[in-house]
Amino acid sequence: MSDDEFQPLPPTLQNVLDQKSLQWVFVGGKGGVGKTTTSSSLAVQMASVRKSVLLISTDPAHNLSDAFGQKFSKDPTLVQGFDNLYCMEIDPTSSIQEMIESQDNGAMNSIMQDLAFAIPGVDEAMGFAEVMKLVKSMEYSVIIFDTAPTGHTLRFLSFPTVLEKALAKVSQLSGRFGPMMQQMSGMMGVSSNEDIFGKLESMRAVINEVNQQFQDPEKTTFVCVCISEFLSLYETERLVQELTNGNIDTHNIVVNQLLFPPRESNCEQCGVRHKMQQKYLEQIFDLYEDFHITLLPLLTHEVRGVEKLKNFSRLLVEPFQPPK
């Protein structure tokens, strides 16, 4: 196709709202680019076209409560002002910690800690599996993840392997600490050795199943959020490469915090920054010509509370018109 025929894709997230088969939407990017505002706004828009929407934050900083001005916990909570939008905030690393803390037996604690330290990520994998089990039993029509900053975002792809290592380690430990393993079984809320295997095995099965869904573009897509700066662009490119290698669909980029100073403005910083942003914006359009690129302005106020989120969320579906 020649350049003359090339038509850029619509610069909105309307395509995500229109794709009725979507069950999982991830929103990710480096810290401080406005992921939580974007994911909350997308959830608000989704709630207008879907039967039920669950927004999950896996970022330990938990900004959802701040964004909506309402306290959320690890159980889905209905957002005030909605009848079909729920939020929950989870800490994926707390699952083993809770098991350890609930047990008085020092030797048992050390075994669990050994397991946690010997296999990096096993605590997150178990936490993730627990959440997935919970979520799957609830039948939401779409689930949106407000993910942790880029480094952690794609960890879930390696979780099945992590849990396989945990299974191997547990069988090795059970050989060495037969009787003690009985106590460990009790601590995990199961009755025997086999049940520990059963528990880890069922977690692995859940994660395998979910990962297959994540790799199906009909069911899952990833929205990348960035700002128009070198580092953020670099991180976004790395994220897009990783998603592509992990077979996860991504075709939306949200560029946030764009400055559009009025022509008569004599603010030097605004002019310089606008120029720099435009330079990186050109690179974004060159690199991602087959993506929907949504541009969002830098606002003069924080987007906090349901009303402000509702207003801001319109910018995801109606392209922002900078002042002439």
> Which residues are designated catalytic?
59
Backbone angles phi, psi at 78, to 5 degrees: -70, 130
In angstroms, the CA 303 to CA 312 distance is 7
For 125-186, the DSSP string reads: HHHHHHHHHHHHTT--SEEEEEPPSHHHHTGGGGHHHHHHHHHHHHHHHHHH-HHHHHHHHH
Q: What is the DSSP letter of 9?
A: P
Backbone angles phi, psi at 55, to 5 degrees: -110, 120
Q: What is the DSSP letter of 51?
A: S
Q: What is the dihedral of CA 66, 80, 134, 250, to 10 degrees?
A: -60
